[in-house]
Structure 1
């Protein structure tokens, strides 16, 4: 590896600048705001994915062909630690990339890193950063307050039927973890209605709404739950399960009674908004 090396220094101690690789959604900017209170940060917003952030946060837009530029800026800022956060909705079209020289050097490894299921890709991407001398840190290390604490978010709690559906959903996700499929499932009245695949949580919830309208299953409005949790053995440095206001709105449109997530290993983004909207819609959001 040529050129300057990333600066040393342990993560989470407030020393050294943290590089945040930001994908889509409000979460990367929520994390940046929290972390910036105790540590210097620089954000690299993934072009075509990341939303616009506040002007007060130093941000550099990067495309898939600009790894060299990102690495150079990170080194100039004294970064050793990297946080990967936010959704990446599509994998890059390598045929359309015009790489800088550093990206050209790394391109064979980048292509290999993008092949496989979500867990495989996460491990490959983390390995790519580590091979370049960076240390990829987890949300638990960089911003633990973003992780769901046990208990309800808002005023409402699941009833006995919801509790049974939550337990079934958790068992199903435990059993399906080795297959690297998805992180969430919809369960209604003791029946698994939908399992998240490559389409993501929001699209899965839209599918639940469609099949409810088509009367492919019958239940009262407010029955059932969305259950989301990390896979067994999942590397929590990336692809941490996340719910936010859009997730809640999707669950409400699907007619579900609420959302249950795994405490300590799931992020609840936009927590104040989620609590207020859940109470207004008379649905629950709970971490277990």
Structure 2
């Protein structure tokens, strides 16, 4: 793992001092814009914030203001910081890549037996994230989610922009939600693309942007006609722990969806993060796409098999 450039050397755990200004929220921060957005939202609410940034993942601007920078698998240093800061809540936020099993095993071998660590590593992304949450909680710290601390960052329910979906798009949304619900037990992606009532793509480990590029290639190769339109549907998995790995969209998602020839985007209301929501809505309006927050946590819709 590479060190973030332009960042000063981090202090040793013995240099850490407990927070005297009240129990803070500690952000265990990976990459992307979300850690900075959450920190700003918490500060607007008057909350004290401490940032522990993961080296090589956190954005450079966030790393510069971080209280501590550690390697992703440096559990000893992370735990020392949490014990020093005595947080009210801990939040796992931002993107990271899955660590190599041998490195993960070595980092945690002093804290957990090898069988438990192997079980966590072999349980897929959901199991790995859940295992990390359990490790933190078992040390006596409360792990919170964005839905608890800054719900304004989540998609509201209803039409978010100027463009409304037509009846075919509503049918595609219902089908997409049903597909994602049926796949929930298998720990696959959180998004699908439905075109003309059939499943054009399902998100895999490559992520939403790569899935949309795949749809764009299908469109260019005439496997999808322009008249097929299409909808991106993205939402949390059934029974997903909303404290980790929330589905996320932003302005770039809208640009990718438009390039793929889609008519709009539907996301789970109150379970999906929207990065820079105002700009995202403006981008959707500018490109003629609808943007919706839909209730995906109720009984999944029933759709015909046509």
TM interval, shorter chain, is: 0.7 to 0.9
SS at 1:181's partner residue? Answer: coil
1:252 aligned to which of 254, 258, 261:
258
Deviations 1:21-44 (A, max 9, x none): 112211111011101222111112
Deviations 1:118-166 (A, max 9, x none): 2211211111111222111111111111111112222212122211111
Task: Tell me, in whole angstroms, the C-alpha distance in 2 between the residues paired with 1:62 and 1:163.
Answer: 46
How many residues are paired up?
273
Tell me the residue number matched to 2:181: 174
Q: Is the contact between residue 27 and residue 270 of structure 1 (CA under 8 Å) also seen in structure 2?
A: no
Task: Tell me, in whole angstroms, the C-alpha distance in 2 between the residues paired with 1:104 and 1:170.
Answer: 40
Tell me the residue number matched to 1:145: 152
Task: Tell me, in whole angstroms, the C-alpha distance in 2 between the residues paired with 1:61 and 1:74.
Answer: 13
SS at 1:136's partner residue? Answer: coil
Is residue 210 of structure 2 the alignment partner of residue 212 of structure 1? no
Q: 1:35 to 1:57 in 2, by over 3 A?
A: farther
Q: Name the Cα RMSD after superposition.
A: 2.5
Tell me the residue number matched to 2:192: 185
Q: 1:55 to 1:202 in 2, by over 3 A?
A: closer
Task: Tell me, in whole angstroms, the C-alpha distance in 1 between the residues paired with 2:183 and 2:119.
Answer: 25
Deviations 1:63-113 (A, max 9, x none): 13422222222222221421111222x21135568978xx55237455653
SS at 1:36's partner residue? Answer: helix
SS at 2:261's partner residue? Answer: coil
Is residue 271 of structure 2 the alignment partner of residue 265 of structure 1? yes
Tell me the CA shift for residue 280 of structure 1. 1.2
TM-score (normalizing by structure 2) = 0.81
TM-score (normalizing by structure 1) = 0.86
Is residue 24 of structure 2 the alignment partner of residue 17 of structure 1? yes
1:35 aligned to which of 42, 62, 65:
42
Task: Tell me, in whole angstroms, the C-alpha distance in 1 between the residues paired with 2:235 and 2:73.
Answer: 33
Unaligned runs of 5+ in 1: 8-13
Q: Is the contact between residue 163 and residue 289 of structure 2 (CA under 8 Å) also seen in structure 1?
A: yes
Q: 1:128 to 1:97 in 2, by over 3 A?
A: closer
Task: Tell me, in whole angstroms, the C-alpha distance in 1 between the residues paired with 2:251 and 2:67.
Answer: 24
SS at 1:193's partner residue? Answer: strand
Is residue 67 of structure 2 the alignment partner of residue 62 of structure 1? no
SS at 1:249's partner residue? Answer: helix
Is residue 246 of structure 2 the alignment partner of residue 240 of structure 1? yes
Q: 1:56 to 1:92 in 2, by over 3 A?
A: closer
Unaligned runs of 5+ in 2: 1-13, 295-306
1:106 aligned to which of 94, 107, 111:
111
